[in-house]
Amino acid sequence: MGALHDGHLALVRAAQAECDRVVASIFVNPKQFAPNEDLAAYPRREAADLAMLRAAGVALVFMPAVAEIYPPGFATTVRVAGLTDCLCGAHRAGHFDGVATVVTKLLLQSLPDAAYFGEKDYQQLLVVRRLVRDLDIPVQIAGVPTVREADGLALSSRNAYLTPKERRIAPGLARALRRIVAALSADPDAVARETARGSADLEHAGFAVEYLEIRAADTLVSVTATVTAPARVFAAVHLGRTRLIDNIPIG
């Protein structure tokens, strides 16, 4: 959605390592914002974004207008059941319907051999993989590890909203998740204890916790007692007016 940073360029680099040509799309998708969310304020830096992509060696950038993606009379929604009922889907009504619809359109418009998505939006990555399988879209979906600042904060376009004080607090989210991962790697039976402690730690640090959960890495099924298979710790928090999300694999 633009406002590019090195996390986006990591997707470009991953694609360049495996593909002959790399294409990027920039589209601030209105259908994935709820009425009370930050569509109007979402950072837009088209000229800077194009310069970054050009310098990175991207062959083509697709920047459609809203009317090109959603022409008059547009009446179709793509919904992925199950995977979208939890985590961010439980707190952002309609968000993943908007994501699934626009990604389906972009993939069909461009028909790439492969498409690259960051693991910071891990739930989104699973949703895209599911819709591609279910709709038989001939594209390989590749996940790229989260890119972080030196202090651990996951890169995000919304980090620009943070005040200097909030920016000093923000790395505490990744630290809390890493502590949970370390604790559960040592004691897989401590899910309830560590998620409760993690929530308390985040609140004490100044975050308003939206969710902090352990879920299976492949299905997003909730893990409430013992980690017995690949899993991740997921969190969404608010710091001032900024919503931050992050996730880290366990084990």
Where in the sequence numbering do the catalytic residues fall?
8
- Between CA 81 and CA 14, with CA 159 as vertex, the angle to 5 degrees is 65
Which helix (H) or strand (E) segment holds residue 224: the answer is none
Query: How many C-beta atoms surround the C-beta of residue 207 within 10 A?
Result: 24
d(C-alpha 122, C-alpha 129), whole Å: 11
Pairing of strands 242-250, 231-239: antiparallel
Q: Are 88 and 63 in contact (CB under 8 A)?
A: no
> Tokens 């709820």 — which residue?
34
Which helix (H) or strand (E) segment holds residue 210: the answer is strand 208-216
Q: Is 61 helix (H, G, I), strand (E, B) or coil?
A: strand
Buried b (16+ CB within 10 A) or exposed e, 138-168: eeebbbbebbbeeeebbbbbbbebbeeebbe
Q: Is 243 helix (H, G, I), strand (E, B) or coil?
A: strand
d(C-alpha 77, C-alpha 74), whole Å: 9
